[in-house]
Amino acid sequence: MELLRKRALAFLHEAKRVLSEEPDLAAFFAEQAAQLFVKSALIQLYGIDSRTHEIRRLLGSLAKGLPEGEKSKILKFISERRYELYALEEAYKEGRYGPRAFEAEEAEEPIKLAEEIINLIQEVVQNV
């Protein structure tokens, strides 16, 4: 669990560091940061080691067992940010398999979203 969090924060740091030089990597690293941080919370709270890479699915799995107030925070986030979360998932797929290139301006959004996800998860886990 702690190892995943440490890796997540390292990916986020690297995403910011390489943003101007390697925006493709920055977007990919941002997705990895968010994904690993959510997975760390799943392990901490439920002992679940999920193999999916879909951030929306991971967040949904996290929400399922939470108290109602915390659950609603996650579900609201998923609902309000559905498009951005999908784009974050695409950053993972395109970063690994696709021919699509990101511009620096495009890669800023996944980084901001990853930060928001990490902050949300920290808040939720702290309140459980």
Helix, strand, coil shares of the chain as percentages rounded to 5? 80, 0, 20
DSSP label at residue 101: -
Domains of the chain: 2-127 (1.20.120.330)
Tens of pLDDT, residues 14-37:
999 999 999 999 999 999 999 999
pLDDT tens, residue order, the chain (128 aa) = 899 999 999 999 999 999 999 999 999 999 999 999 999 999 999 999 888 989 999 999 999 999 999 999 999 999 999 999 999 999 888 877 877 788 888 999 999 999 999 999 999 999 88
- Quote the pLDDT of residue 1: 87
> Distance (Å, rounded) from C-alpha 38 to C-alpha 99?
27
Residue carrying structure tokens 């609201």: 76
- Quote the pLDDT of residue 103: 87
For residue 16, the tally of other CB atoms under 10 A from its CB is: 18
- Quote the pLDDT of residue 118: 98
DSSP label at residue 100: -
96: Cβ contacts below 8 Å, ≥ 6 apart: 28
Could you give the 3-state DSSP secondary structure of residue 19? coil
DSSP 45-95: HH--------HHHHHHHHHHTS-HHHHHHHHHHHHHTHHHHHHHHHHHHHH
120: its two tokens: 């949300």
Length of the chain as a residue count: 128
